Amino acid sequence: MAQPELKRELANRHVQLIAIGGTIGTGLFLGSGKAIQQAGPSIMITYLLVGIAVFFVMRALGELLLSKAGYQSFTDIAEDYLGPRAAFITGWTYWFCWIMTAMADVIAVGVYVQYWFDIPQWIPAVICLIILLGLNLLTVKNFGELEFWFALIKVITILALIGIGIILLIMGFKTDAGSVTITNLWKHGGVFPNGVTGFLFSFQMVVFAYVGVELVGVSAAETSNPEKNIPSAINKIPLRILFFYVGALFVLLCINPWTQLTASESPFVKTFSLVGIPLAAGIINFVVLTSAASACNSGMFSTSRILYNLSKNRQASPHFGKLNRNHVPGNSLFISTLVISAGALLSKLVPEQAFGIVTTISAICFIWVWGVVLVCHIKYKKTRPELQAKSKFKAPFTPAVNYAVLTLFAGILIIMLIAAETRPALLFTPLWFVLLFILYSIGSRKGRSSQDQNMIHKQ
């Protein structure tokens, strides 16, 4: 009897909006307030630099995914080029990345709902998880539809912000904070008001803002016509970075002097309120709520697919490799959702620090995953020149750009070690890798022992 397989039900419009949704989330709508406080107007440079680096990671991932038909995610790539140990560590680390990210987003859902209703924040968080779980259990097409509409709401909001901002700039509109003018970018202490230190310390939150861009790669196994859809989505990333990140921040900082924005408030909510749009705060609060739900939805999708792939590669329990009648890894979805729900507990135990802790750990782990993609691409060019020669989607400026981006990532980790706020999470994260190393070694030893016993029985 044939085993059920993942269905290729994600159409081009789903892939395009997954790519957009993956690069617009809580990190931009909420986390950018903290980053602006650290870096001032130079935050636009930080977003641009990290965005360029992420684009080259995605070009490398795209070329690798399309180089071999059997690849379903970058864990398959890691196993092919770096061995089963690297695949095990990278797969489980990616699962952990998204668990942390989804925890941050489910915490955010609870906080945003409190804007309207005075209820404990864990209640809307749990309700959100139950709804998303039910929809994701049906078909992968439901995930695509959810992300399509969630991403569309984000896109419309940012388009509205940029359009309104340009009109206000032309008008020289005056708010309670002063005139809307491009000079707000430098007249409040300069472009680098907190010096080089503030600029460097902003990199952690900006890295977190880009997590999820690689969802295009995770969804490869369920994408119809990946040879067309994946390159199309990846090639549009630079335009999206310039428009949705740098463009939106440019408008925000022209309307609001950076000194008026706080780390605890969404700069988008603040801006729409400042220009006097009726019900603006409520409308934007709804948008950031859907953004958090979207990111949580992405987390549930990616963690379930990673567990499924780990199981198929015998690096996780066979229980996680089973598909339901809708060709969805239901068991993997259930366990991932259960772990994500711990985010509500974390927000109750350490409400002030919870968001910062999980975003820092997430950023560190994503740097590992992105770094593995770059290292695999370097080995691909060295060891598979025949595949590279046939590639129709060659990553540009390699391998030099791979080494440059890896150097940038190493520099960001050093900055996290220096910064007092991110240092504890950075020092904790290696324990995760030590745990995975030990678990893999134990599993490998048991596997070899079973093989030896089978050989003895055969003899």
Percentage helix, strand, coil, to 5, in the chain? 75, 0, 20
Q: What is the pLDDT of residue 289?
A: 84
Strand-pair partners of 10 = 223
Strand-pair partners of 174 = 179
* Helix 43-67 / helix 354-383 crossing angle, nearest 10 deg: 50
Q: What is the pLDDT of residue 411?
A: 96
Q: Residue 440's CB: how many other CB atoms inside 10 A?
A: 18
Residue 72: DSSP 8-state? -
Q: What is the pLDDT of residue 151?
A: 77
Q: What is the pLDDT of residue 131?
A: 85
Q: What is the pLDDT of residue 197?
A: 93
By the 10 Å C-beta count (0-12 exposed, 13-18 middle, 19+ buried), 12 is classed as middle
CA dihedral 305, 296, 147, 61 (to 10 degrees): -50
- Among 194, 195, 172, which Cα is nearest to 184's? 172
SS3 353: coil
CB 338 within 8 A of CB 320: no
- Which two three-digit tokens encode residue 140? 């992968």
Q: What is the pLDDT of residue 2?
A: 44
Strand-pair partners of 178 = 175
Separation CA 184–CA 182 (nearest Å): 5
Separation CA 203–CA 184 (nearest Å): 22
Q: What is the pLDDT of residue 1?
A: 41
- Whole-model pTM: value is 0.84
**Following DSSP, what letter does each residue of 10-47 receive, concatenated?**
B-HHHHHHHHHHHTSSHHHHTHHHHHHHHHGGGHHHHH
Q: How many helices (H) and strands (E) does the chain have?
A: 22, 2
Phi-psi region for residue 265, left (φ > 0), alpha (ψ -120 to 50) or beta?
Answer: beta
The vertex-102 CA angle with 428 and 309, nearest 5°, equals 90
Q: What is the pLDDT of residue 269?
A: 74
Each residue's pLDDT, cut to its tens digit, for the chain (459 residues) gives 444 555 555 555 656 566 566 557 667 776 788 888 899 999 999 999 999 999 999 999 989 988 887 676 777 889 899 998 998 998 899 888 888 888 878 877 887 787 788 887 778 888 888 888 887 777 666 666 777 777 788 788 888 888 888 888 888 888 777 788 899 999 899 999 999 999 999 998 888 888 877 776 555 555 566 777 778 778 877 777 778 788 889 988 998 888 888 776 778 777 777 777 657 777 778 887 887 887 787 778 778 878 887 888 788 888 888 887 777 788 888 888 888 887 767 766 766 676 777 788 888 989 999 999 999 999 999 999 888 888 888 999 999 999 999 999 999 999 999 988 889 888 888 899 999 999 888 877 765 555 545 545 545
Q: What is the pLDDT of residue 377?
A: 95
Question: What are the two backbone dihedrals, phi and then psi, of residue 225, each rounded to the nearest 5 degrees?
Answer: 55, 60
Question: What are the two backbone dihedrals, phi and then psi, of residue 174, each rounded to the nearest 5 degrees?
Answer: -110, 130
